[in-house]
Amino acid sequence: MMNFVLGTVAGGLIACIATIAAARHPEVQSRLGLIPAVPSTLMAAPLRPEPACPPPAASAPSVGTQEMLFSKRRFWSVAP
């Protein structure tokens, strides 16, 4: 009896989720009569002006040099 109740509840939840997911699509909404079948025209979004940012300054990279990775000081400063 408990299996029947749990199966019924699980099936009901799956059916509800599938119905809600299907009703979110515009094609299904128009078939159900929730929205008119004629698509409305949308206005084009206004173009935003590009921000005037200064170009980044070209500098030498200070991270990831070979000296940082293989320096003897780094290896010998760790205590065993």
Summarize pLDDT for 14-53 with one digit per residue, the tens: 999 988 888 888 888 888 777 775 556 667 878 888 878 8
Taking the model in full, what pTM does it have? 0.38
Confidence bin at 80 (pLDDT 50/70/90): low
Task: Tally the C-alpha atoms within 13 A of residue 32's C-alpha that lie toward its C-beta.
Answer: 12
Answer yes or no: is pLDDT of 6 > 90.
yes
Q: Do 28 and 22 contact (CB within 8 A), yes or no?
A: yes
Q: How far is CA 79 from CA 68, 70, 74, 75, in A?
A: 19, 17, 11, 9
**What is the rounded CA–CA span in Å between residue 47 and residue 51?**
12
Give percent of the chain with pLDDT exceeding 70.
Answer: 62
Instruction: Judge whether 35 and 26 are in contact, CB under 8 Å.
Output: yes
